Amino acid sequence: MSVTVRVPPYWRRHTGRRADVSAEGATVGEALADVVRQHPELGPLLYGDDGELAAGLSVFLNRESITRRDGERTPVSPGDSLMVVLAIAGG
């Protein structure tokens, strides 16, 4: 099933400047894996060496953090929207 994945502005150079990427999958993890399949340069930005989502990233499914649900195993439905958000630190 197709979902829309919104990528952070800085990463859009890897998606042909597209803000939204259509992805297939039954779960958040499958959809993100499809985005990486389409745009391999995003793999190291999304995932750490351990294969887990990179530190400093938050992923939202329809405006709700996936950490409040079942993480990457959270099911998605056609038309859902995923948003990857980069944490910003400063001081």
Work out the pLDDT band at 91, boundaries 50, 70, 90: low
What pTM was computed for the model?
A: 0.92
Q: What confidence tens digit (pLDDT) does each residue in 15-44 have? A: 999 999 999 999 999 999 999 999 999 999
Q: CA triplet 23, 11, 69: central angle to 5 degrees?
A: 50
Can you tell me whether residue 81 is helix, strand or coil?
A: strand
Q: What confidence tens digit (pLDDT) does each residue in 47-83 have? A: 999 999 998 899 999 999 999 999 999 999 999 999 9
Q: Are 52 and 40 in contact (CB under 8 A)?
A: no
Indicate the residue type of 60: F
Count other Cβ atoms within 10 Å, centred on residue 82.
24
Distance CA 27, CA 32 (A): 9
Q: Which residue ranges form the domains of the chain, and what is each CATH number?
A: 2-86 (3.10.20.30)
Indicate the residue type of 90: G
